[in-house]
Structure 1
Amino acid sequence: MSTVKLNWGTGLVIGMLLFIGFILYFVITMMTDSKFDHELVVEDYYKQELILNEQLEARQNLAILSEPIRGKKTAEGWVLEFPKELQNKIKGNVFLYRPSDKHLDSDFPFVLSESNLLIPETRLLDGRWNISVTWQHEGKPFLYETSINY
């Protein structure tokens, strides 16, 4: 019987091949398994990047309001309190973004009847939400964004 001797060079090559095989196994598993989702955060990423300057201007316009917009949780849902100067003067759009499930995202128009905007509890499940409210006032665009845990 002959014995096979392994020197340190052969052992090093075998170790490297095993490590490479281990890494390739996990890469292939991650790419082919359907339970690992590889979607972009938003579908139209590049389109949204092009309107970035308009969004920055709309965010900066919040500074001209007499007081900041405040949000709070109530029994009916999430209430956004606008400054009194905007009462009965604005129409806009609310976008609810759920980072964990794009199927829960929703978009709806609003008309401010008082100085409060109610986002109904039926639209909000427990968890994290990103809220974007856009509107025009005296020819200027406004964008209010916040993240909440409902």
Structure 2
Amino acid sequence: MFLAGSAVFIVFAVRQPVNLVHKNYYEKGVDHTEQMNVNARSKPFARSFDVNLNNEALVISIENELATKIDSGNMQLYRPSDYTKDIKHEVLAGNNSIQFPKSELIAGRYILKFTWYTNGLRYEVDRPVNIQ
């Protein structure tokens, strides 16, 4: 009886989906020093954009001073509970507004990950976002 119960549990456990924080979770942890440098470089820009939810979309407004410095970048709404629900938009140089249509969003917690490059240096700011 014990062996049968153990076998059933093992089959059950193997069939469960594994949702790591990121698809490449282990690779992201390798270069921790570089990430610390990016975080330190990005800290002054933590409040350089506003996040507002209206009836049609989640609108991110980037201050003009920062928007003019961006060479390229992206904004990702990362869903910690299910990475398959992540949404990503490209940020073009000089663009100071990004919209995520409300129809693509699910109620709950997201993390807005704003990553951009200026003069070959990477910057990254994260901000929690709750969709209701």
Superposition misfits of 4+ residues, deviation over 4 angstroms? 27-30
Residue 74 of structure 1 is matched in structure 2 by 54
Residue 30 of structure 2 is matched in structure 1 by 50
- Structure ID, larger Rg: 1
Secondary structure of 1:37's aligned partner: coil
- In structure 1, what is the Cα distance between the partners aligned to 2:75 and 2:46? 22
- In structure 2, what is the Cα distance between the partners aligned to 1:45 and 1:92? 21
1:101 aligns to 2:82 (yes or no): yes
- In structure 2, what is the Cα distance between the partners aligned to 1:63 and 1:40? 26
Unaligned 5+ residue runs, structure 2? none
Whichever residue aligns with residue 75 of structure 1, its letter is N
Residue 62 of structure 1 is matched in structure 2 by 42
Residue 85 of structure 1 is matched in structure 2 by 65
Pair 129,67 (structure 1): closer, same or farther in 2 beyond 3 Å: closer
The two structures have a TM-score, normalised by structure 1, of 0.64
The two structures have a TM-score, normalised by structure 2, of 0.71
Percent same amino acid at aligned positions?
23
Pair 74,45 (structure 1): closer, same or farther in 2 beyond 3 Å: same
Deviation of the 1:92 alpha carbon: 0.5
Secondary structure of 1:33's aligned partner: helix
On the 8 A contact 2:68/2:93 being kept in 1, the answer is yes
* Greater relative CO (CA pairs within 8 A, separation 6+): 2
Deviation of the 1:71 alpha carbon: 1.6
